[in-house]
Amino acid sequence: KPSLWDSPTWVPPTDDGLMWMGENAYPFHEIATPAPRGHRVTSDGFGGKVLMAVLSEAVAKTGIDVHIDTGALRLVVDGDRVVGVVARHFQQTVTYRARRGVVLTTGGFADNAEMLAQHAPQLVGLGVNSDGGDDGRGIVIAQAVGAAVKHMSAGQVGISLVPGMMVRGMIVNDVGQRFINEDVYPGLVGQAALFKHNLRVWVILDEQAYEEVPVDERWGVQPHFVAETLAELEREIGMPEGALESTVGEYNRFAERGEDPYFHKSARWLRPLRPPFAAIDVRRGMAPPEYGDGGTSGGGAEVFTIGGLRTSVDGHVLDLDGELIPGLFAAGRATSGLHSWGYISGTSLGDGTYFGRRAGGAAARQ
């Protein structure tokens, strides 16, 4: 739909097809002229099922054999070339001969507690955004034949906050300091909050900021602490004395002039914060109204892994020396792909489809 959702969010709560993905926020608007992106298709729910329906229909028309409930156990190597896969179908071990190559599109490792602890310990204990099958198997079996990996500690951090509240106020760490411009894409806020501040962060806002967010966009989130003064709010949430008073005072002083010299938030969202003040503890999580009480477990974020196998532009898996492993290809979240510390929601679809097609084409040409 050619209409724009024109404020920070994860996904438009409407059927608007366009939204900003942070292009119009500092520093990105200084690098390139910003333009809103197509992000949501017109359908019930999100766009994933639309894409999968098209892909499934295309597979059905080709007559390709699809073996479900079959998990890869290891790769088969002949000399230096990958020539097949050993897998398990329920209690039966099956072997597949790959005449041209094996393409791994097995997802990340967010559901593998052991791999998380080893490679991405800061993601341990948080909610997981997956279908339950991101066990890292494709990465492991490729490493067993010499594959290299990249960015294994990186993750997408879906921080549990309402962007519309944050942008109208501020986000601070546990000593009351701002650390990012609040109008940037919320996934970047999540990465900064987790990897630099261990998710010990708070959204600070006033009554006007809260009331400006429509009820159906609040996702059931309500302030955890409310106070008439910043000194009271500091005591309630356990911040150092004077921390919020200093930060909010400095913020208000420049906001009166429509300026943010420290983090460069757009003047559109700058306004002095006035009492009464409120604080939202991001670690308490959130949930949409249909999920019940507006709170959910997960430690303040839902995550998935971004690191994985190192590949060429054509999806060839590379070894530790940067050389191609003959017969082995990969795409999607089983690879490190395009992203590491700058993930933007939905781009795994572009990453997976584009490089998946290149990997499939390269394997077919073998």
Q: What HEC string does 118-160 produce?
A: HHCHHHCCCEECCCCCCCCHHHHHHHCCCECEECCCCEEEEEC
Distance CA(224)–CA(237), nearest Å, equals: 9
Distance CA(69)–CA(90), nearest Å, equals: 7
Distance CA(14)–CA(17), nearest Å, equals: 9
Q: Which pLDDT score is estimated for 175?
A: 97
Closest CA to 225 of 177, 284, 298, 286: 284
Q: Which pLDDT score is estimated for 68?
A: 93
Decide if 67-156+302-364 and 161-297 have a common fold. no
Q: Which pLDDT score is estimated for 15?
A: 85
Distance CA(224)–CA(171), nearest Å, equals: 14
The listed CATH number (3.30.1540.20, 3.50.50.60, 3.30.450.20, 3.20.20.140) that belongs to domain 67-156+302-364: 3.50.50.60
Q: Give per-residue pLDDT as tens, 81-113.
A: 999 999 999 999 999 999 999 999 999 999 999
Distance CA(328)–CA(59), nearest Å, equals: 22
Residue ranges, the chain, pLDDT below 70 = 45, 286-299
Q: Which pLDDT score is estimated for 298?
A: 46
- CB neighbours of 252 closer than 8 A, spacing ≥ 6? 272, 273
User: Strand pairing partners for 159?
Assistant: 301
> Residue ranges per domain, the chain?
1-63, 67-156+302-364, 161-297
Q: Which pLDDT score is estimated for 294?
A: 41
Bond prior to 27 in cis (omega within 30° of 0): yes
**Which ranges in the chain belong to alpha helices (H)?**
28-31, 48-62, 113-119, 137-143, 163-168, 186-197, 207-212, 230-237, 243-255, 347-364
The listed CATH number (3.40.50.2000, 3.65.10.10, 3.30.200.20, 3.90.700.10) that belongs to domain 161-297: 3.90.700.10
Asked if 24 and 37 count as a contact pair (C-beta separation under 8 A), the reply is no
